[in-house]
Amino acid sequence: MERKYYTIKQAAKLIGVTPLTLRNWDNNGKLKAYRHPVNNYRVYKTQQIELFLRRLETKKRKLYI
């Protein structure tokens, strides 16, 4: 079964940044978090993380071409 949401700690590890960086990106609109309806914690959708990582990879490729 595929995971639907990642916690801020899990998402930060996947992207390779700190949770504080993700909080700052959320506040600045770079990577908006969803809020868990019960505890109001930040969560990230799987598709959202995958899209963000693809965009980063595309930007890296453009830099090296």
Is pTM, for the whole model, over 0.85?
A: no
Mean pLDDT of the chain: 92
**Please, what sign has the CA dihedral across residues 37, 39, 45, 48?**
positive
Q: Which residue has the higher pLDDT, 43 or 60?
A: 43
Predicted local distance difference test score (pLDDT) of residue 1: 61
Q: Six-digit token pair at 31? A: 């990577």
Which CATH fold would you assign to the domain 5-64? Multidrug-efflux Transporter Regulator; Chain: A; Domain 2 (1.10.1660)
Segment 1-28, tens digit of pLDDT: 677 999 999 999 999 999 999 999 999 9
How far is C-alpha 21 from the geometric centre of its chain's CA atoms?
10
Per-domain boundaries in the chain: 5-64
Buried-exposed string 43-61: b where 16+ CB fall within 10 A, e elsewhere: bbeeebbeebeeeeeeeee
Tokens encoding 54: 């693809």
